Amino acid sequence: MRTFLTLDRSERDESYPEALVEAFLREQTITGDVVLDPFAGFGTTLVVAERMQRRPIGIEFLADRAAHIAGRISSDATLIHGDSRRIDELDLPPVDFVITSPPYMCRNDPQDPLQGYTVDGAGYDAYLDGLTNIFRRLRSVLKPDRRAVVNVSNINRYDGLTTLAWDVARAIAQVMTFEGEVVIGWNDDDHLFNYDHEYCLIFRNA
């Protein structure tokens, strides 16, 4: 796969583009594969996976987002309104491929992203530890040697720079093998985090 993809982003929101999911599913999966998104958000992964005859599973913490996703997918897709921090307790079938974008955090943000920003958290390092723990548990759900792709950006905001992509890579690399990154370049001038590019980090369940 190329290590640089240029994509159009149609809307300025928290979704990643369908073209990003499509590119990875085409490259990394075949018809009938089980594709998991542990942070399902608005359901992009599930919608694209279904369209490509994969079997999607999504987990989403927030009830309103889970309801939104339910309206976008068929009854054959699996959507769990639940908590990926206990992903190994959700009775999931063996998964062939994971693609996701985690909830983002800037270094000084008070809320806990891993609880949908609904309560105060214990800080940036605790958030990164939380991600490590989720991917540690995810290893028992993902088939051996299969991959997890994590879409993430660094964030350059009014209150400073958070090297989120580097830090997430290091957090997950504690429990899965980091194989490299694909740089995603945006074809527009409306840059969410003051960058015209972000990353898809690729991990293997070695």
Ligand X SMILES: C[S@@+](CC[C@H](N)C(=O)[O-])C[C@H]1O[C@@H](n2cnc3c(N)ncnc32)[C@H](O)[C@@H]1O
Binding positions for ligand X, rule: CB under 6 A: 14-16, 39, 41-44, 59-62, 65, 83-85, 101, 103, 113-114, 116
Of 98 and 176, nearer to ligand X (C-beta) is 98
Is the Cα dihedral 152, 171, 30, 94 positive or negative? negative
CB of 197 to ligand X, least distance (A): 17
Nearest distance, CB of residue 28 and ligand X, angstroms: 16
Q: Tell me the closest approach of the beta carbon of residue 60 to ligand X, in angstroms.
A: 5
* Cβ distance to ligand X smaller for residue 151 or 205: 151
Distance CA 98, CA 68 (A): 21
> Between residues 64 and 206, which has the closer beta carbon with respect to ligand X?
64
SS3 142: strand
The CB-nearest residue to ligand X is 41
From residue 174, give the alpha-carbon distance in Å to each of 53, 125, 191, 203. Answer: 33, 14, 30, 11
SS3 category, 181: strand
